[in-house]
Amino acid sequence: MTYRTLGRTGVKVSPLCLGTMMFGAYGNPDHDDSIRVIHRALDAGINFIDTADVYSQGESEEIVGKALAGGRRDDVVLATKFHGRLGDDPNQAGNSRRWIIREVENSLRRLRTDWIDLYQVHRPEPETDLDETLGALTDLVRQGKIRYIGTSTFLPSQIVEAQWVAERRQRERPVTEQPPYSLLARAVEREVLPLAEQYGIGVLPWSPLAGGWLSGRYRRGEEPGTVSSRAARQPARHDQALPENARKLEATYALTELADQAGLSLIHLALAFVLEHPAVSSVIIGPRTFEHLEAALGSDKISLSQEVLDRIDEIVPPGTTINQADAGYQPPAIENARLRRRSLS
């Protein structure tokens, strides 16, 4: 496997990063089976693992900790995230110093490690001063509990603000960003990816298969062999009765036909496309089973022709996200009408 540099950190990571959201109650509840999948990924040359405290309410981190026990930890670049709610207490979530200092200890315990290589802010939180968050993370770097800090699904303005605050306040700066990016969700090509290149930020795209749309299950004229469990959990992204998802389905059909013509699986086409962008350091794959992992392996060795890339641009134009539900984050000013209307304030 040819390794890439994580942004400008000098750390070498595999082009495929093993995402572990599907290990635990939300996906594969069998710990031993999940550990075997992790070990297979490591044996295949993957040295980068991404998890989060909120995945199966900490269970995913526990599984990763078990898998890395016995001498494998030192060879892995280990990333996790904080922000999501982990209890009924109003302070058991978010980006405050109080929660970060408490939750990093919980993640270290679940992961069975003394340090986390990359500790990421899972989502923005506009009501919390960004300096509050970066200050806490800077202290953790200086204590040796984390090595680097990153962000996930930040808006372009928030990415720039984080760099500005770090410089002006002498904080550790985020060295990675984890945005949604796929053949069907290309909005980050407009600003996020160019900004990442400008500031030397490593990009770790999540959902490169668009939540299962690009797994190969959809073919024109055929019923899908299996129904995604995500459909019930995330109807805005998967309900095909919605016009935006109907458009996604048509694009998926066209991309599947293009993959066939190129002699590739749709999964390989989708992953190779994301890896093609020069800002991308590593793409996060999220297998639940051995079969899912095996289907993704080898995609980092594929080079797409200019003809194939041009055809992709025709199907889904650059910078286009067909369904905004795939953006992963909506600013409060969009979600809350009170922030847009004087009459409601």
Q: Which residues are catalytic?
A: 55
Q: Token pair 């720039």 is at which residue?
A: 160
Structure tokens at 289: 């089973």
Alpha carbons within 13 angstroms on the beta-carbon side of residue 40 total 17
- In angstroms, the CA 218 to CA 290 distance is 21
Q: Judging by DSSP bridges, how do beta strands 12-13 and 4-5 pair with one another?
A: antiparallel
CB 140 within 8 A of CB 104: yes
